[in-house]
Amino acid sequence: MASLPASAWDKEKAGVLLQRAGFGGTPEEVDALARMQPWQAADFLLGSPELAKADPPESITRPGLTEQQRYLRRRLTLLTPKDREEKASQLNRAVRAEQERRLTELRGWWLDRMANSATAAREKLVLFLHGHFATSEEKVRNPVLLYRQNQMFREKALGPWSELVLGIARDPAMLIYLDGAKSRPEHPNENFSRELFELFTLGEGNYTEKDIQESARAFTGWTIRMTKKPGEAMDEETTEPYFVNYPKWHDAKSKKIFGKSGGFDGEDVVRLALEQPAASRWITGKLWRFYTGSNPSPPMHRELVATWDENKGQIRPFLQAMWTHPEFYNPELARNRVKSPVEWLVGLCRQLGRALPAPALASEMTSQLGQKLFAPPNVKGWDGGITWINTASLEKRYEYGNWLVGGTVGMRRLGEMDLARLAIQSGLLEVPRPMIEGNAVDDPNVKKDFAEKRKAAARQARELLAISPAPLGPLAGPDERQDPDRLVAQLSARLLPGEPTPPELQARYRKATGEAIPLNDAAVRQTILAIVQSPVYQLG
C-alpha cells in the first residue's frame, strides 16, 4: 500500500492525524507528532499494549445491591403478596437508581480515558467498536456487563478482527441485547445471526435467509448463567451473569452455512463468515468511513482490502498503514467529516487544555447532542456524518461551546437542563423525599416546604456541576493580546487543524476581537467562541 514519504509529513498532516486517530490536542502535541516519521507517529498514538489495562470505575467493583437489599431480595418470596409487591417495587427503584449512578460514573470514566493523550487513540477505536457492535443499556440494564464489554473491546481492539467478532458473540451484554441468551434448539433466535452478517461482518446481500436460520441453530448453547460453570450453585453475591457454552442447549445436528455442511457451532459460524470475500470489504470500508468521514474510492478500497488481507485482519498494522496513506490526507476529504458529539466535547476540552465537565453533565451534554454512550439508538449504532447535525443539535453545540469557553459560574440556567435531576441521579446530591400522606399534598405548608427544597437543590446542583472558565494563559500570551491578527491566526491553527484557515474565515473571527488593545479576557473568549461557533469547527 502506498505510504506517505517522510518529506511530505508536516504539522498540518500531524494535526489531521491527531484529530482523526484520537480526539485532537494542543499545538505542542501536534508539534511532537510532526517531528516523528509518519509511521512512528501512528505507532506512537496507538501506544503500548499495556495501555489496554484499565482499573474499572469504583462502583463497578462493588456489589450492585447493598447487603440489606440482598437480604430483602432473598426474603421476598416469604412475604404476603401485598407486601411483596410493595417491597419489590421499592427494591426496583433502588436498583434503577444505582444503575443510573453506575452508568454515569462509567461514562465519565470512559470520557476521561478519551481525554488522556496516552490512551486517546485506543479509546477512539473502542468508540468505533461500541458503535459497530452497538449494545444498549436500555435493554441490557446492567452497567457491569456494559463495562466488561467495553473493556473487552479495549483489550482486543488492536489484535485480530476474528477475536473481536468471537468476543462479541460470547459477550453477555450482546447475548442479552440480541436475544442469543434465550435461543434454544427448539426455537433458535435469529436476531444475533442476522445482525452478525448484516451489520457486523458482511453487509446486506452477502448471505441468505437460510444462512441466518442455520447459523442461529449453530449459536444455540452459547448463553449466560449466574455461575461460571453449569451446575454450580448460584453465588448469593453474584448479580452478573457469565458466558457459558451449555452443550445441553446446543443443536449439534448438521447445518449448511455459506454452502458448507457440518455440525457447526458458533466458532464455526464466525470463521465461515470471515472467510467470505465480503468480510474484508465490509470492515475496511467501515473503518475508512469512521476515520475519514467519506466512502473510500474503489481503487482505495481495493488497496485497503489487500492490506487487510496481507495483515490477516490484524487491526494495528492495518490502522498504521491506513493512517500513513497519502489518500488519508487528500484535501478533498478535508472538512467533510463531522465530529461526533463525544469527539466534539472531548476534542474541544483537549484543544482548550481544560478539564471535562463533571460526568453527570458531560454525559448529559453528549446525549443532548445525539450520542448517549452505552445507549446507541439501535443495533446499527449511530449513523454519524451529517446526521449528527440538525437545527436543534447545532444550536446546542454553539450553546455548550459557550459554557466550555466562558464557564457557567453565575448562570442561573443551563439551557433546558435539569441540573438538580442530574446531580441527584449521579449521586452527587441527596434530597430527602418529602413525606406526604393522603391529602397533605394540597397543604400550603407542605407545598411551600417542597418548593423551597427544590430551589435549594437546584442551587446546590448548579454549584456542584458548574463548569469553570477555560484557562486562557496557554491560549493567548501577551504578544497575541497586542495583535488581534496574530491571535486569530494562532487560535485558528489550534482549533482548526489541517489546511490553513482561509482568509475570509479569519476575517469573520477577527470581528470578534474588537479593537481595544491589549485584548482583555472577554475579547479573547469572544474570539475562541467565534471559531467554536462556526460550521467549520464541527468538522475535522
Partner 1 sequence: MKEPGLKTRREFLRTGLLGSSLSWTVPSFLQNTMLSLHAAADGQLVQGVTGKDGNILVVLQLAGGNDGLNTVVPMGNDDYRRARPTLGIREEQVLKLGQKEKAGFHPALAALAKAYADGSLAVVQGVGYPNPNRSHFRSTEIWATATDENQSSSTGWIGRYFDNACSGCDAAVGITLGSQTPQAFAAKTPKGVLYEAGGGKRRRLGADGEPEADGSMAMAMDGEAEEGPAGGSIGDIAGPSGKINALDFLERTEMDVQITQKEIAAAAGRGKNGVPYPGSWLGNQFALISRLIAGGMKTRVYYVSQGGYDTHTGQANAQERLLREMGDAVAAFLADLKAQGNLGRVTLMTFSEFGRRVKENASGGTDHGAAAPLFLAGGGVTAGLLGQMPSLAPRDLDDGDVKFTVDFRSVYATILEKHLGVKSDPILGRAFPLLKAYG
Measured distance CA(322)–CA(36) in Å, rounded: 17
**What's at 405, amino acid-wise?**
V
163: how many CB neighbours lie within 10 A of its CB? 16
Distances in Å between the alpha carbon of 297 and those of 19, 284, 289, 323, 450? 22, 12, 11, 16, 62
**Bond prior to 518 in cis (omega within 30° of 0):** yes
CB of 13 to partner 1, least distance (A): 18
CB of 137 to partner 1, least distance (A): 10
CB of 143 to partner 1, least distance (A): 10
Measured distance CA(488)–CA(507) in Å, rounded: 9
CB of 392 to partner 1, least distance (A): 5
DSSP 13-59: HHHHHHHHHSS---HHHHHHHHTS-HHHHHHHHH--GGGG--PPPHH
CB of 136 to partner 1, least distance (A): 8
CB of 27 to partner 1, least distance (A): 23
Closer CB to partner 1, residue 306 or residue 392? Answer: 392
CA atoms within 13 A on the CB side of 211: 21
**Three-state DSSP class for 267?**
helix
Distances in Å between the alpha carbon of 184 and those of 30, 188, 213, 249, 307? 53, 5, 13, 6, 39
Closer CB to partner 1, residue 43 or residue 171? Answer: 171
Closer CB to partner 1, residue 361 or residue 369? Answer: 369
353: how many CB neighbours lie within 10 A of its CB? 16
Closer CB to partner 1, residue 84 or residue 447? Answer: 84
Check if the beta carbon of residue 199 is closer than 8 Å to that of residue 225. Answer: no
Residues in the chain: 540
Closer CB to partner 1, residue 7 or residue 68? Answer: 68
Closer CB to partner 1, residue 138 or residue 275? Answer: 138
**What's at 193, amino acid-wise?**
S
CB of 509 to partner 1, least distance (A): 9
Q: Find cell 472577554 and name the residue.
A: 522
Q: In the structure grid, which three cell numbers stand for residue 151, read together?
A: 473493556
Q: Nearest-5° angle of CA 21, CA 27, CA 30?
A: 40
CB of 411 to partner 1, least distance (A): 18
Closer CB to partner 1, residue 28 or residue 237? Answer: 237
Closer CB to partner 1, residue 351 or residue 538? Answer: 538
Closer CB to partner 1, residue 416 or residue 430? Answer: 416
CB of 112 to partner 1, least distance (A): 26
Q: In the structure grid, which three cell numbers stand for residue 499, read together?
A: 489546511
- In sequence order, what are the residues at sequence separation of 6 or more whose Cβ sits closer than 8 angstroms to the Cβ of residue 39? 3, 320, 324
**Three-state DSSP class for 62?**
coil
Query: Residue 225: in which H helix or E strand, if any?
Result: strand 222-225
CB of 169 to partner 1, least distance (A): 18
Q: Find cell 436543534 and name the residue.
A: 392
CB of 139 to partner 1, least distance (A): 5
CB of 390 to partner 1, least distance (A): 4
Q: What share of the chain is helix, strand, coil (3-state, %, to 5)?
A: 60, 5, 35
CB of 155 to partner 1, least distance (A): 23
Measured distance CA(161)–CA(290) in Å, rounded: 16
Closer CB to partner 1, residue 311 or residue 534? Answer: 534
Closer CB to partner 1, residue 9 or residue 288? Answer: 288
Closer CB to partner 1, residue 390 or residue 468? Answer: 390
**What's at 72, amino acid-wise?**
L
Closer CB to partner 1, residue 88 or residue 278? Answer: 88
Closer CB to partner 1, residue 333 or residue 362? Answer: 333
Q: Nearest-5° angle of CA 221, CA 226, CA 228?
A: 70
CB of 141 to partner 1, least distance (A): 4
Residue 533 DSSP class: T
Burial class (CB in 10 A: 0-12, 13-18, 19+), 100: middle
Measured distance CA(179)–CA(163) in Å, rounded: 21
